[in-house]
Structure 1
C-alpha cells in the first residue's frame, strides 16, 4: 500500500468532545463534573479540563507579537554615578541587554552611561524629584554621542500611578513633568516617556482581570490629564510603556498579557488612534515570593518569565530570588538574568513567532479574561473613572475581596505554595527578624504590595522567637499503628502539614497497638503528638489511645490525622484537634503554638 502521502494517524477516526465526556462520566462514577474537574479561577473564569477543535472560538485580535528582540532587564539602584556605571557594565558583561536605573539623587547621565553602547543596550530610568533635569541631560548626552534616533530604546518612569495608589496623593506637577518628558523624547520613537504600572494591583492581591481593568482605567485618567495640558492623544499612545506583574497561574498569565494588548487597542480605537507604538514590560511579582525555602523563588521566576514571554511582552524584569529578605548578591542577580537568557536562547522562546496562537485553551482563556476585564473597566468608568473610584475606595474594596479569598485558599492549602504551605524545608533554619509579623487585612486608603505568605511567615516567626528565647525547638512525634497503607499516608500528610510551623518533625514511629503508641508517645520528649492510622482503627482504638495518653500526660498537644466520625467523644477524652484536608493551617498551628509555648516556658 502506498503510504507516502497518507496523513499521520488517518486510519484512526477522530474522537468527538461528546465521546470524551461520556468516558469522563463513566470514570467519575457519579461525581459532579463541574465540582471535580472544572477549575474556577478567582477572575471568575471557569476553565475546562480539556479542549479540542470543537471549542474553537473567535480569536482575539491585536494580542501582540512575540518579541524577537526581547529585553532582559536588570534593576540598578544608583547610589553614585561610578557605582551605578560599574554595576551596569557588569550586567552587560553577564548578558543583560536592558538596564533600569533607579535615579533618586543628583546624577550625571554622562558618568552613569560611560562605556555603554546605547545603539545595542536598552536603558530605562525610574526618576525622582530631579526627573526633568536628568532627562534633559540624558537626551543631550544621546545627541552628543550621535546615537541613531531609532536605536535609542527604553523608557522614563516617574512612578506617576504607582506613587498615587501606594501613597494616596497625586500633584498636578506630576503630570507637568510627564509633559516635559514627552517633549524631550519627541525625536526618539522607540523611547517611551510615559510609564503606567499595574504591578501594584497584583502584588496587593488583585486577580488578572482587575490588574488589566484598573491599569486601563488609569490610562484613561492619564490621557485626560495630559490632553488638558496640550499633549496630543496620538503622542500619548506612542509614548506609552506599561508595567504588569506576573502571577503564578501559568496559562492564565499568558492569556492576561494577550488580553491586555487586545483591550489596549480597543481603548485606542475609541480615541481614534488606530496605529501606535507602545511597549509592555513584565516584572516577576512580589506576591508569589517566599522568604522560607527561598530558592524555590527561582522556579517561580522561571515559570513567570515563560508566561510573560509567551504572552508577547517586550521586556522582562526578574527579581533576584533573595530580594525579599536581603540585598541581592552578585550570584542571585546573575542567576535571575540567566533565566531569561536561557529561555530566549536555549529554549527558543524569543526565536519562534507567537507559539501559543491557535491553542484552544489559551485562546479561550484570553477571550474570557478580555471580556471580564472590559466589563470591569466599564464599571469603573461608569462610576466616575479611575480617580473617583480610587478616592471612594471602590478599587481598594474590590481588591481586598479577592485578596482575602486568595489568602483563605492558601491557609486551607487549596492553593499550594511550595516551601510556604506545602512541602516545607525542615532542614532550613531562618532568623526571626527576616520573617513577617502578623498583618492586618482591613481595607486601607492605599495599596500595599506584599507577599502572599506573610500570615504563614508570622507563624514561623513565633516559633523562631521561642527558639531564640528558650533554646528549645519543639518536637513533633508521628505515632502510628494499625492499617499500614493509611497510617503511612496520614503520617506523610501530618509531616507536611505541621512542618509549616518550623517545629522539628520526627519521622513516623510505628507501634504494634494503640495502647503501646499512647504510652510511648506520652512519655517521649516530644511536645506535639499526632496519631496516624485508618478510620476503622480510629473507630476501634482512638478513644482508648487518647484516654491512656492523657492519663500519663496532660501537657502535650495531642492531634489526630484525619476526620474521625467520633470527634466529639475524642475531644471530651482530651484530643486537642485534627489535621486533615479541610484544616486551616494558620488557625490549627496557631492553636498548637499557644499550648506549646505555655508548656515550654513553664
Structure 2
C-alpha cells in the first residue's frame, strides 16, 4: 500500500503538546512535576519532538550481527574444550576463555574448537609475551579471529599494581604489536568503573581516557581494540551509553589514524545483583542484555543469575545463554542493525552523554591524563563520590532492588548456599595506587541477613 498513514491528520508542534500538558497539570509546574534529572546531570523531559531534533550522527551499530558469548574458566584443558564445544552446539556463537596459568596448553585448547566459525576471546591473568606469540601463531595458521584481552592499565586500576612495572608492561605491548599482527591484543576494561559505582558520564570518559593512554603508548595498533563494558537496568540510558561510546571512540581514534571500529563486549553489571531473591537477577539481566544489543555491542556475555554465590555450573550457564537465544530467535533482536536510530529520546540521550563525557575527558587530559589522575587518586575519589550518592539512594529506599530493600522474603535463607564469597574482599598487599573497588549496592543488607541466619542457628 503506497498511501502514507496519518497524512490526513494535522501535525502538532512541540509547543502545542507542552501547552496541552500544562493545561492537564491544572496549575502544577511543568518542570517540577514532569522533568527529572539523572545522576549525570541530564534533564529528562516527558516527551521529545522533531521540532527540537537536529540530524544525529549515525550510530553505525550492527545489532543484527551480535554474538552470544559464553564465559569459560580454564582449569582443565580437556574439560574446557568439551564444555566449549557443548555450549557452541547449544547456541553460543563465541567463547571467552579466562586463563590464569602460563602452563596452559594454549595450542591444544584452541585447536580443540572450530576456530573458523567463531570468535574467541582470551582473558589472561598474566602478561607473557611468548604465550601471546603462541596464540598469534595459531590464529595465523587457522585464519582465526582471536581477541587477546591484555590490559595492564586496567590491572593497575583494579589491583593497584602493574603486571611488572609501567615501562616494562608498555614496552611489552609494543613488542606484541610488532610480532603479533594476526590477533587483537589490546583491551580496555570499562566494566570496572560501572561496577564500582561511577555514573555513565564517568564510565564513558574514563574508558575513553584509559584507551587514550594506549594510543599514546603503543606505536602501532593494527587490530581492533576491545572495549569491555557492563550494562545496568536504566534501559534507554544504557542503550545511549553504548552508542555514545562508539561515537567517542571514533573521535579519538581518528586523531591517531586508527581506522578500526572498536569491538564492544558487554556483560550485565554486578552492582545491582542480589544474593537474596536471586531469581530477580534473571529479570535484571534480561533488560540489560536488551540494552546491550540495541546499543550495538558486538558480543554479549550474559551473567548467570547465581554468579554471585555459585561456582560455574551447567544450569546457570544454560539459563543465561537461553535468555540471549530467546532475544535473538524469539524476540527478533537480530533483524535490524540500527534499531535506535531516529528515536528522539535515545538520540538526545546519546548526544548529551557524549558531550558531557567529552568535556570530562578533556579535563582529564588537561590535568595530566588518566594514569596521572589514577596516581593522584582523583579517579578513585570521583567514582567513590558517585557510588556514595547511589548507595544513599538505595539505603533510603529511593533506589529499589525488589526482594532486597523492598518486598523482601523474610523466609529466604542463603547461608547454606554460598560456594563463593559474595562481598568485597580486603587485601593487605602493598600497592602503587589505591585500587578502584567494585561493590554491590546490597552488600550491607545481605551481610546483616546472613548474620541473622547464623544467630538463628
Q: Which residue of 1 aligns with 2:17?
A: 20
Higher relative contact order, structure no. (Cα contacts within 8 Å, ≥ 6 residues apart): 2
TM-score for both structures, normalised by structure 2: 0.91
Query: Across the two proteins, how many residue pairs are aligned to each other?
Result: 445
Do the aligned residues in 1 keep the contact of 2:133 with 2:180 (CA within 8 Å)? no
CA deviations on 1:484-511 (whole Å, 9 max, x unpaired) are xxxxxxxxxxxxxxxxxxxxxxxxxxxx
TM-score for both structures, normalised by structure 1: 0.70
Do the aligned residues in 1 keep the contact of 2:63 with 2:294 (CA within 8 Å)? no
Do the aligned residues in 1 keep the contact of 2:424 with 2:438 (CA within 8 Å)? no
Do the aligned residues in 1 keep the contact of 2:152 with 2:169 (CA within 8 Å)? yes
User: Equivalences for 1:162-177 in 2 at 5 Å?
Assistant: 162-170=154-162, 171=165, 172-177=167-172
Name the SS of the counterpart of 2:226 in structure 1: strand
Distance verdict in 2 for CA 1:5–1:96, change over 3 Å: closer
User: Equivalences for 1:108-257 in 2 at 5 Å?
Assistant: 108-129=105-126, 131-144=128-141, 147-148=142-143, 152-170=144-162, 171=165, 172-186=167-181, 188=182, 191-226=183-218, 231-232=219-220, 235=221, 238-257=223-242
CA deviations on 1:31-86 (whole Å, 9 max, x unpaired) are 3322322221111111111112223134134x332243322111111112112212
Whose radius of gyration is greater, 1 or 2?
1
| TM-aligned CA deviation for residue 249 of structure 1 | 0.7
CA RMSD of aligned residues (A): 2.3
Distance verdict in 2 for CA 1:388–1:18, change over 3 Å: same
Which runs of at least 4 in structure 1 moved beyond 6 Å after TM superposition?
Answer: 435-440
Do the aligned residues in 2 keep the contact of 1:291 with 1:324 (CA within 8 Å)? yes
Q: Which residue of 2 aligns with 1:37?
A: 34
Do the aligned residues in 2 keep the contact of 1:160 with 1:195 (CA within 8 Å)? no
Q: Which residue of 2 aligns with 1:527?
A: none
Q: Which residue of 2 aligns with 1:99?
A: 95
| TM-aligned CA deviation for residue 130 of structure 1 | 5.8
CA distance in 2, matches of 1:75, 1:420: 27
Q: Please, which moves more after superposition, 193-202 or 14-23?
A: 14-23
Q: Which residue of 2 aligns with 1:263?
A: 248
Q: Does residue 1:382 correspond to 2:366, yes or no? A: yes
Distance verdict in 2 for CA 1:103–1:438, change over 3 Å: closer
| TM-aligned CA deviation for residue 307 of structure 1 | 0.6
| TM-aligned CA deviation for residue 430 of structure 1 | 2.0
CA deviations on 1:199-231 (whole Å, 9 max, x unpaired) are 0000000011101101111112122222xxxx2
| TM-aligned CA deviation for residue 115 of structure 1 | 3.5
Q: Which residue of 2 aligns with 1:454?
A: 443
User: Equivalences for 1:357-396 in 2 at 5 Å?
Assistant: 357-396=341-380
Structure 1 unpaired stretches of 5+: 469-602
Q: Which residue of 2 aligns with 1:60?
A: 57
Distance verdict in 2 for CA 1:73–1:32, change over 3 Å: same
Q: Does residue 1:276 correspond to 2:229, yes or no? A: no
Q: Does residue 1:335 correspond to 2:319, yes or no? A: yes
1:73 pairs with one of 69, 72, 87: 69
| TM-aligned CA deviation for residue 271 of structure 1 | 2.5
CA distance in 2, matches of 1:247, 1:17: 31
Do the aligned residues in 1 keep the contact of 2:139 with 2:146 (CA within 8 Å)? no
